[in-house]
């Protein structure tokens, strides 16, 4: 059992800190989403193209992959009480500086450093819930932590809509304001957390073995999950980065209407994620094994994302918007399946495997942002610029279905003993 909190802390204190983690996740995703929501104004005022924007997303993704490795290592070796505010201040400052950028070069530096520092949020936050909460409370605590991503994605378009006026350069203010909120969070963290609050009382029950970890990496089951993650990352990240542009340039929606729909889209993603969990429970109660139920849910989510094949034939109107909402629901429903497949690989090494897979997913999927932008830039007809890329992104999760079919080997799966570390 981990040391929960200092003796002088009230029982409710750990949940206040969990709420602070939720706020950090919300800020993390708000800083990430501001560029996509202001993209049309930025490329217009700074005389950029879709290929430039794709390269910005590419740089962000590879920096996030690098940050996942670096901060995963640092979080195990240094005090999270001090590392966490450094990480959050780092991405907050980069978010603010983005608002003062005058050209592509400055934007590229800001987005690269933003991605690098944002990656540090997850190892720091997960280490915090591990130290704060007892084993029976951690699932709830991590659910609260994760929910901040959807909250940030839902409210950011509304903040952008409220702050971006017809005046040139009004897109800059949201970047500065959202970044400043992160600096306020840093102060709250340092006030609320004392030096000994996040210390743990005991080491994990089973020491991680390097040879066991190498054995996992050599298994075909590990690579099945790795390919599954690539498919999920492609559809999620492509739609995250390009949906506002597709609605405005590709289908002619006004900026305010597009931003309103983006908020609705992320509500649909949350619904899909929650439904995936409920359906898994129902299938297991009806006699399906947990593993088979997850494979079924993943395949059903792929069917939803594959509705993207209808996009080229749908113009502005409710049929298109309905398809996009269904694609969004399927896109996030993929992730609960991915997380549990990862746990099946090895609960003992789940932290290390998750961090390495996150770096892998970002490193492989991020170049497609650049390819997407270059292709869109080469198409003259605005109505056709983004259709093919969105279709391919929606079909990408089938990579995971195929990989699980041919690469997953139950006999290779390491023994399910020990505790997560």
The per-residue b/e assignment along 342-380, b for 16 or more CB within 10 angstroms, e otherwise, is bebbbbbbbbbbbbbbbbbbbbbbbebbbebbebbbeee
228/334 Cα distance (integer angstroms): 9
- 47, 164, 229, 360 from 169: Cα distances, Å: 13, 8, 38, 36
Window from 178-187, 252-261, 269-278 with minimum mean pLDDT = 269-278
Window from 28-42, 71-85, 171-185, 330-344 with minimum mean pLDDT = 330-344
Closest CA to 316 of 259, 254, 376: 254
46/52 Cα distance (integer angstroms): 11
Q: What is the 3-state secondary structure (H, E, C) of 123-174?
A: HHHHHHHHHHCCHHHHHHHHHHHHHHHHHHHHHHHHHHHHHCCCCCCCCHHH
In this predicted structure, the answer to whether residue 274 has a pLDDT above a threshold of 90 is no
Residue 286 — pLDDT band, cuts 50, 70, 90? confident
In this predicted structure, the answer to whether residue 415 has a pLDDT above a threshold of 60 is no
190/167 Cα distance (integer angstroms): 38
350: helix, coil or strand?
helix
Cβ-proximal residues to 364 (8 Å cutoff; 6+ apart), any chain: 230, 233
pLDDT value for 307: 98
In this predicted structure, the answer to whether residue 2 has a pLDDT above a threshold of 70 is no
Both tokens of 67, joined, read 């940050």
Tell me the backbone φ, ψ of residue 404, rounded to 5 degrees.
-65, -35
Window from 50-64, 142-156, 277-291, 329-343 with minimum mean pLDDT = 142-156
Residue 412 — pLDDT band, cuts 50, 70, 90? very low
Q: What is the mean pLDDT of residues 147-157?
A: 83
pLDDT value for 203: 40
Q: What is the mean pLDDT of residues 194-217?
A: 62
Residue 351 — pLDDT band, cuts 50, 70, 90? low
In this predicted structure, the answer to whether residue 206 has a pLDDT above a threshold of 60 is no
Closest CA to 383 of 248, 254, 237: 248
Tell which wins on pLDDT, 245 or 414: 245
pTM tops 0.95: no
Both tokens of 244, joined, read 């506002």
224/48 Cα distance (integer angstroms): 38
pLDDT value for 272: 87
pLDDT value for 345: 77
In this predicted structure, the answer to whether residue 370 has a pLDDT above a threshold of 80 is yes
In this predicted structure, the answer to whether residue 261 has a pLDDT above a threshold of 90 is yes
pLDDT value for 347: 58
Mean pLDDT of all residues belonging to the chain = 84
238/228 Cα distance (integer angstroms): 16
Q: Counting every residue, how long is the chain?
A: 421
DSSP secondary structure of 267-311: HHHHHHHHHHHHHHHHHHHTT--HHHHHHHHHHHHHHHHGGGGGG
> Which of 36-40, 79-83, 347-351, 398-402 is modeled with the greatest confidence?
398-402
Q: What domains, with CATH codes, occur in the chain?
A: 9-198 (1.20.1250.20), 209-421 (1.20.1250.20)
Residue 138 — pLDDT band, cuts 50, 70, 90? low
């Amino acid at each position: 059992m981990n040391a929960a909190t200092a003796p002088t802390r009230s029982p409710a204190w750990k949940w206040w800190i969990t709420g602070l983690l939720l706020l950090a996740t919300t800020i993390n995703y708000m800083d990430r989403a501001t560029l996509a929501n202001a993209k049309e104004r930025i490329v217009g005022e700074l005389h950029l193209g879709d290929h430039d924007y794709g390269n910005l997303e590419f740089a962000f993704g590879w920096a996030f992959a690098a940050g996942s490795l670096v901060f995963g290592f640092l979080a195990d070796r240094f005090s999270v009480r001090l590392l966490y505010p450094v990480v959050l201040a780092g991405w907050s400052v980069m978010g603010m500086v983005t608002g003062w950028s005058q050209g592509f070069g400055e934007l590229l530096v800001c987005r690269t450093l933003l991605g690098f520092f944002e990656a540090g949020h997850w190892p720091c936050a997960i280490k915090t819930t591990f130290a704060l909460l007892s084993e029976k409370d951690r699932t709830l605590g991590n659910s609260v932590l994760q929910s901040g991503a959807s909250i940030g994605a839902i409210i950011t378009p509304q903040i952008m809509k409220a702050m971006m006026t017809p005046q040139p350069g009004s897109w800059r203010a949201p970047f500065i304001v959202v970044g400043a909120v992160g600096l306020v969070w840093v102060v709250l963290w340092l006030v609320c957390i004392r030096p000994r609050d996040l210390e743990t009382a005991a080491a994990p029950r089973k020491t991680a073995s390097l040879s066991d970890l190498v054995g996992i990496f050599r298994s075909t089951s590990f690579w099945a999950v790795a390919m599954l993650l690539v498919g999920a990352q492609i559809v999620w990240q492509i739609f995250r980065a390009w949906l506002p542009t597709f609605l405005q340039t590709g289908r002619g929606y006004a900026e305010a209407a597009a931003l309103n729909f983006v908020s609705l889209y992320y509500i649909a993603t949350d619904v899909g994620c929650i439904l995936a969990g409920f359906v898994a429970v129902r299938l297991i109660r009806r006699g399906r094994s947990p593993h088979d139920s997850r494979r079924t849910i993943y395949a059903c989510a792929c069917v939803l994302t594959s509705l993207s094949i209808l996009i080229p034939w749908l113009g502005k109107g409710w049929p298109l918007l309905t398809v996009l909402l269904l694609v969004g629901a399927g896109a996030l429903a993929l992730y609960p399946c991915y997380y549990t497949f990862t746990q099946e690989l090895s609960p003992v090494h789940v932290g290390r495997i998750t961090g390495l897979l996150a770096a892998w997913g970002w490193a492989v999927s991020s170049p497609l942002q650049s390819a997407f932008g270059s292709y869109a830039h080469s198409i003259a007809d605005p109505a056709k610029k983004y259709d093919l890329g969105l279709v391919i992104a929606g079909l990408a999760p089938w990579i995971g279905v195929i990989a699980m079919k041919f690469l997953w080997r139950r006999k290779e799966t390491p023994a399910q003993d020990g505790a997560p570390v």
